[in-house]
Structure 1
Amino acid sequence: MNKLFTRQLVADLVIFTIAAYSIAPVVSAAELTLPTAPLITTKSVKPNMMLLLDSSSSMYSIVPEAPYDESATYYSCPSDKELTDNQYSMRIQSDGVVYLNKNNNSGNPKYYFGKGSGQRCFRDSKTYTVRLYTDIENNDGLKTTSSYGAAQYSGHYLNWYFSEGSFDTYRKAGTRSRIEMAQDAAVDLITGLENIRVGLAIYDNSNDSDGTQQGAGAKVLVNIADIGKVADTGATATQRANVISEIEAIVAVGFTPLGESLMDMGKYFTLKNGDENNLILHPDGASQSRAASEIFINGPVYKNGISAPEEVVENWCQDSFVVAMTDGLPSNGRDNNISTYLQNYASDDGTSEFADDVVKGMFDMDLTRPNK
C-alpha cells in the first residue's frame, strides 16, 4: 500500500518550519524510518518533490539574526521615554529619517527614536508587535507598511534595530526578511539536489470576483520535472535554473492558505488517477471509498504559460514529497475550500484550520493508484 509519509524538520522556529511529506510505498500502517538523504535516491525511478514556499505578506517581517546579540548591551532607555503601547509600524522619510506610528496609523503621533525631547525608545524586557519592513512608497517619498501580519520583537532587539546602523530602501541595512531568508534556503536546497524531479508552488492569493483578496490555495510556478545532476546541461539544467529563477522572483502578498494549498497538492499528485477513480479514506478504521474529485475538490492554479501536466506520479513505486516552507499557522482559510471528507480528518479541534487534517488524510490514502 502506498501512503503519504510525514516528517517535520525544524530549521529555525523563529524563521520558518520545513515539513516533508512523501507519497511512499510501505507494507503496513507502521511509520517509516526517514532515510538520511530522503530527497535523493539511487533508485531507477527518480522521486518527485514539490517545493511549496510561503508567499504570504507576513513573510516581509524582519528576522533577528547576527550581528544582533541578545546578550549585548545596546541602548539604555530611560523609563520616562519608554513606548508603552504594544503595536507599531515603521516609516522611512524621503530624507532617510525613521519614525514609528502606532497601530499602522499614518497620522500623528510620530515617535522618533532617542532620548531627547519628543523622542521615544523601548523597554528591553517588553515584547512589542512591530512592522519593520516598509513595503509601500507614497508619492512624496514616504515609505510605509501595508497591513501584513506584524511580528513580535523584544524591546532589546528594537533598541538595537533603531540605535545602530543606517536604513536602506525598505529596512535597516544588513537585515533580512523572512521571504529573503526562505528564498536563500530554497535556492541552496535546489542548487545541491541531484537525481530528483522538482517543481515549485506558492500560495494563490488572486483576487476573487468581488475584488477581495482571499487565500484560495496553491499556485504552481514550475511543474515537476527532472533536474538531473548539478553538472548536467540541456533540459535538466534548464529545469533547475527555472526553479531557482522563480524562487528568486517571488513577492510576498496576501494570506496563508496552508491547508488549501496542501489539498491542492493532493490533487496535483493524483492527476494520473483521474477524478473519478476512488481513494480509500481511513483505511485502518471505518474506511470510506470516495472519488478523488470529492476528496480533492480543488486543484492548484498555474502560472501563465504553463498548464496541468498529464501526470506527475509516473510509477506506483515512485517516492514523492511536498516540502512546505512557512513562517507560521494558516490564515484566512475557508471551509468551502476544504472537502468535508478532509475537514477534521485527524481530529475535531474546534478550529477552521485544517492543514493537519489534510496531511493526515493524505498520509492514510494510497494516492498513487486508483482503488475501485
Structure 2
Amino acid sequence: MGITKDYLRYVHSGSCGCVASANGEICSIDAKICAVTACENINFYNLRTNEKVNEIAESTSDANCMGLSRDKRWLAVGYADGAIRLFDRQANDAANVIFSGHKKGVSCLAFSSDGLTLASGGKDCAVILWDIVSESGLFRLNGHKGPITHLTFARNDQFLLSSSKDCLIKFWSIRSQSCFYSLFDCRSEVYSFSLLLDESMILLASGEAELLVYELIWLEDGKLSSSDASDEPENKKQLSLERPTDEISIDDMANRYVRVNVRGKLLRQGKGRALQLAVSPDERFVLCLGSDKIVDVYRVFTEAEASKRLLKKLKNARKRMAIGTTTSKVNEEDVKKDITIAITRIGEYRPTSKLKWADFTPVYKTEEDGAMQYSVFLLISRIELISSSPCIK
C-alpha cells in the first residue's frame, strides 16, 4: 500500500477590493453617484470624490444586471442563480423583496414607466413580469429560443419589446399576454435596441458590422386605416399563396398594433459586434459600444431638423446635376429614403481600454456657445470607473 500524500485544500471564501465585475453593468443614480455590479455585491460610488458611499451585499451569487425605475425609487438586481432582489431606496431599513422564477441567471431587467411593473429576461429564454405592489409574479412569456438580451416597455406600457440571441425581436401585448409580432430580418444575435423619436423608430445593435434601423407605425386601438382595410382580403389571399400558415397569423395580428418597415443601416467605425446602445436623456445622442475600443457617437434629429436636412440634400443634389457632376435625375422619394436624414454618425470616442458598459446621467446643460454638455459613466475593462463630460454641438 502506497503512502498517501497530504495536501492543503483551498476553498474560495470571499473577495475584497472588488471595484466592479469584468462583465458587469453600471447604472447612473444621479449626476455624481453610480451603481456597479461587483461580483455578488452592488457598489455605489461618488465619482466626484472618488469614494465608495454604499454597498449592497445580500447574495452569494454573482450580480448580472440592474434596473432602476424612472423615479429612482426602486433598484432591481438580477443574479446568476435566477433570483431578483428588489430594493426600496427610500426606505433603508426595509427588507428587500426576492422574486424567484428563472431557472437560470437573469440577464436583463426593465421597469414600466410608472414603476409598478418589472420585466425580467433570463438565460432560460423566458420573460417574466412582476407586480411591484403585490410583490408577486404576474405571468411568463415564452417564445424565444435564446437568452434574453434586452427589454423595453412601449406605448404607455401597453406593449413589451424583447431581443434575444435567437436573432429575433418580439413584440408582446401585456393585455393578451402573447406575442403579436416577431422581427425576423436580423441575421445575427441581437444584443441591444433603442426606441427613438417618440417610439417611431427602433435602432438595433447586433453581431453585424452595421446598426439596423426600422420604422414603427403604431395603429390606434388595433384599427387599420380605410385604405389598408379595403386591401386586406386581397393581401391575405396573396400571402396565403406565398407563405406558410404560421407566418400569416403572425402578420395578421401584427397589423392590429404595429407596422414595421426597413428604414436603413448605419455604418460603424468599430469592428466586430455592437454590444450596447446608450441613449442620452433627451434622446438626441446615442453611444454604440462594441467589442473593441471604439465608441461610435450618433446624432438623432427631430422631425423639424430632419425636414431641413432633407431640403438641404435636395438643394445640393440639384446643384450637382446643374453643373454636370451627376447625370441622374433628382428624385425626392429616393432622398427621403436616406437614413442619415434622421440619424447620422457624428464622431467617435476612443478610451484607453475596452468599454464594458456606459450610462448617461440624467443631467445635461447647454453652454454659452450652444454646445450641449452631457455626463456619461463608463465601465472599462481595467475594472475602473470614469466620468466623462463631452461637449457636443
TM category, shorter = under 0.3
Structure-2-length-normalised TM-score = 0.26
User: Which structure shows the bigger proportion of residues in helix conformation?
Assistant: 1
Larger RCO of the pair (alpha carbons < 8 Å, separation 6+): 1
Question: TM (normalized to structure 1)?
Answer: 0.27
Higher fraction of strand: 2
